[in-house]
Amino acid sequence: MSKPLTIEELKALKKGDWVYVVDNELPQYTGYYKIDLFAISHLHIVQGLRKAVIPFSKYGKTWLAYKNKEEAEGKYDSQAVELEAVTQDKANLERTIEEINEALKDNGITIDSDGNVNDSLVEGVKKQVAKEILQDLYETIKQDVKFSLMSAKQIVIYALNKYGVEVDK
């Protein structure tokens, strides 16, 4: 690669300009970033969903910035810069989706191909709560003579009021 940007050259760039950042401490974060904000002591950069704040005090020690990777190698192509950034964004998004799906799966939640959520834990809790409510209602009806005089509709209304349940009408 050619010479990296100086701090002055870096600070002369504008918000939205692309830079190629080489991170010697965390090489997996090397890549194209858009400048988001300059602060007195640090730089805010963005790459799709990934945001970073890097201190100027570490410039030249743990990280360097170049105008672009291709120019540094003598073959600049602005479309290639945009394409690589989009490709990195897509890969980051796919990794994030995989991590979310794994976390959901670990907690008994699956999403089918149509986007419907199947939460076996919630379904189990719903069934248990419904069973407890019906068991309690059954015991109440069995012990209270007034329920034998009530219609099914009145019993349902009683249960809805007792348990604070609202239903669509």
User: Phi/psi of residue 91, each to 5°?
Assistant: -65, -40
**Structural domain boundaries in the chain:** 7-104, 118-162
Query: pLDDT above 70 covers what percent of the chain?
Result: 86
What is the C-alpha R_g of the chain?
A: 30
What is the rounded CA–CA span in Å between residue 21 and residue 72? 12
Question: Could you tell me if 63 and 21 are in contact, meaning their C-beta atoms sit under 8 angstroms apart?
Answer: yes
Global pTM? 0.43
Q: Six-digit token pair at 17?
A: 């300009």
Please determine, for residue 120, whether its predicted confidence score (pLDDT) is greater than 80.
Answer: no
Tens digits of residue pLDDT in 48-98: 778 888 888 998 888 888 887 665 455 545 566 566 767 777 877 888 888
Q: What's the mean per-residue pLDDT of the chain? A: 78
Tens digits of residue pLDDT in 89-117: 787 788 888 888 788 778 777 777 777 77
